[in-house]
Structure 1
């Protein structure tokens, strides 16, 4: 049994070390293939949708905690094919995006909205929306920023929130 294990380990070691002698995989890539791929990518991107924004960062200034901030971003398709926004991913669950679910034709515009609920989010805030699109980049990022003034609780509200201790 000992000889079988030793023989197996020896064979595996030889296979492993021989496979490492073949050199770096990046050295095997032909430079012509890289150039061809770059040319192909340029040609593909020429026909793809292109996206432009009126603004990419919305500063909502200073608001009170508990308010809902609505940010509007105008999106324009400056490309040659329909622009499709397949998804919008907010950086936080406190931000709810609304975006056009139908393709935006070349030259047309549409709104992307973001509703940011400031409840429980005091002080400086910075949120992002990542748009998943059919542009050459594939992803576009919009930003919201501002300051949320913390809510001040009255004595009565504090008393209501404090639970009495249970007696054993």
Structure 2
């Protein structure tokens, strides 16, 4: 069944290229078909992060701090990051726009704006990807001291 499906996808790609009057350009639709076949065969990209969390330590309220997470594709097909979101508007990830080939790495810059935030801050970044699970997460944290210099006490 799987072999028949793969053969059908390759046939569609071949016919599409033959009907294009000599052009060998592969369309986005063709790529989606190939990616779907890879998924059926269990060939997914897989993410390896250089760190699961970054601690900015103690910072002053109003500071904007940045870090870079290095993401590596240790899977069998190109890694596509369709979306990246912070758990609040103060956390902004900047993922790569291009696919990451197997064995390759790319940076994801994450900035945190501490304006209006005080005390211990724990934020999550969620990536929507074409991995088997469909999403990946990592964290940042910081202890933010208020602008006025007063101590913040966290009780549990």
Report the TM range for the smaller structure's normalisation: 0.5 to 0.7
SS, match of residue 93 in structure 1: coil
* Match in the other structure for 1:66: 62
Residue aligning to 1:90: 86
**Alignment partners' CA distance in 2, 1:44 and 1:113:** 32
Question: Tell me, which stretches of 5 or more residues in structure 1 are unaligned?
Answer: 1-42, 154-168
Distance in 2 separating the partners of 1:117 and 1:45: 43
Q: 1:126 to 1:99 in 2, by over 3 A?
A: same
Asked whether 1:152 is paired with 2:145, we answer: no
> Structure 1: how far apart are the matches of 2:55 and 2:44?
31
Q: Within 1, Cα distance between the matches of 2:135 and 2:102?
A: 18
Q: Which has the higher helix share?
A: 1
Q: Larger C-alpha radius of gyration, 1 or 2?
A: 1
Q: Is the 8 A contact 1:45 1:136 kept in 2?
A: no
Using the size of structure 2 for normalisation, the TM-score is 0.68
Aligned residues: 111
Q: 5+ unaligned residues in a row in structure 2: which ranges? A: 1-38, 150-156
Could you list the runs of 4 or more consecutive aligned residues of structure 1 that deviate by over 4 angstroms after TM superposition?
Answer: none
Identify the residue that residue 71 of structure 2 maps to in structure 1: 75
Q: Quote the residue 1:50 is aligned against.
A: 46
**Secondary structure of the residue that 1:48 maps to in structure 2?**
coil
- After superposition, the C-alpha distances for 1:38-77 in whole angstroms (9 at most, x for unaligned) are xxxxx74730101100001111110011111102110000
**TM-score, structure 1 normalization:** 0.63
* Cα separation, 2, equivalents of 1:128 and 1:84: 20
